[in-house]
A and B are shown apart, each in its own frame.
Chain A
């Protein structure tokens, strides 16, 4: 198992965002997290990636205790993510944005950068070529030099994924990657996610598009009010009465 959450609790002021949450993610699995808005899904992702420190509980990644580590450390350990609201670098070009994914792989020190040692040149070439690979993989070649802020929403979503992939992560976390996409774009996204799985990467995703979740996920965690209310194969979860009640309310 690649990722394990044990009894995670997180409170903000008086509000309990996550309460005693535990689940596992297996290697190379596609795990979906669903639940109504405000269920705490993004908060879980933020705890995993180090943006929040859980008040209680432990998170283990690849055998290592990563609870409360800072985001930049967790990134180095092999977890990459996209954000619910797109967080790209708007003034910069697509390639420069994706290059952010290569930050931890770049070996040049700040001193190398300052005076342009041979190591600098080698490092730049190696990483820019990797960026090029991912640009082509996501079919973004025509936008390579374009400034991200001016690009359409669907393209920006792809750039976010490319940036995350460029870090060659073990675990990829996608937070509502299909939000705002049209049907065609969503289909392409599903294909892409399968492609990513075939690359050997483990995937966790939050989504509200049920059809997409059911067709993609191999295993699903259902959350409501900060707690896990169900888990299992998509079919089992779909027919679980508690899950139905959480989404539709009871009579």
Chain B
């Protein structure tokens, strides 16, 4: 535990000084990396912890982003107030969407979540209810004002995003070492045994979706602020595949794993912008090889970290 803690301190220390050493386009990448990590961690709650094949998670990311964008541009609601609204709305969607499909077998659940993602995407594209702005999306999202400070500069948004990441990591950590996290893991490893020991399947599975949706939506709000705009492409099925892969390739239910996964799947391709065309081809091959060579993920979760008082005799 101590060892991991030091790594996290180093990690955030690097993140803090990072913007001072790189040019603005790389600061942007740093911000998006933080936000994508938040979404991936939120996906991990559903996929890595509770073991449900969710391949439509980008939709929740999008609900947060679009809620903020719509409320802010059409109704002039300050961004700071859109945050709780976006979170609650997304959690509600998470509950509504997962409720009817929660008992489907793995592959069927997968396809159903893809379905919801695509329905969401088409709704955005088709400017449903006239509020989503169609294929071009919505422009002119303003920035949050917290305690009188306007988080407007690129750096400020960067730090805000990393702050959100820190909060998310704390939430995930809390989930893991608690009745909630254990219940998720029990369901994932053996649903029947978990049920036989009092774990209410439906409650925990839907809760996983709700929490995953809520956290993803928080990232969505900040994402809308970062680009001052939202558009449908960022929240389509291809993005969901990205988040899904980040979790599995990085290491399910492992915070360092997911962060590493996000780094590998999102940041590293940025280095190869010149090879733009070959990037994703290499990617695909890399995904195959990673699963063959390291199926448990690059940095798998470790169980068995118990409170001290249980170990001493």
Contacts and interface: CB of A to CB of B under 8 A. Distances in A.
Interface residues of B, number: 34
Contacts, number: 124
Given A89-B189, A92-B185, A103-B183, A147 B304 contact: yes
A120 interface: yes
B180 A103 contact: no
Nearest to A135: B310
A75 B310 contact: no
Interface in B148-192: 171, 174-175, 177-183, 185-186, 189-190, 192
B309 interface: yes
Contacts of A116: 174, 178
A92 B174 CA distance: 17
A103 B179 contact: yes
Nearest to A74: B196
Contacts of A92: 185, 189, 303-304
Given A96-B182, A123-B179, A124-B178, A72 B201 contact: yes
Nearest to A145: B304
B310 A144 contact: yes
Interface stretch (A53-61, A125-133, A240-248): A125-133
A144 B305 CA distance: 10
Q: Give chain A's interface residue range (CB within 8 Å of chain B).
A: 35 or more
A89 B198 contact: no
Contacts of A128: 306-307, 309-310
Contacts of A124: 177-179, 307
Contacts of B182: 96, 99-100, 103
Contact of A144 (B178, B193, B306): B306
Contacts of A80: 196-197
Nearest to B183: A103
Contacts of B23: none
A93 B306 CA distance: 9
Q: Among the interface residues B189, B197, B304, which one has the most CB atoms of the partner chain A within 10 A?
A: B197
A100 B179 CA distance: 9
B309 A125 contact: yes
Contact of B197 (A104, A110, A113, A131): A104
A101 interface: yes
Contacts of A145: 304, 306, 311
A167 B198 contact: yes
B186 A95 contact: no
Contacts of A90: 189
Given A83-B193, A95-B310, A89 B186 contact: yes
A70 interface: yes
A116 B189 CA distance: 25
A93 B200 CA distance: 22
B194 interface: yes
B184 to A, nearest CB: 10
A129 B179 contact: no
A209 to B, nearest CB: 24
Contacts of B196: 49, 51, 71-72, 75, 80-81
B25 interface: no
Contacts of B175: 113-114
Given A75-B198, A92-B189, A100-B194, A108 B307 contact: no
Interface string B290-313: 000000000001011011011101
A25 to B, nearest CB: 18
A113 B190 contact: no
A184 interface: no
B197 A103 contact: yes
Q: Which 7 A-B pairs have the closest CB atoms?
A: A113-B178, A104-B198, A93-B304, A113-B180, A89-B189, A87-B193, A75-B198
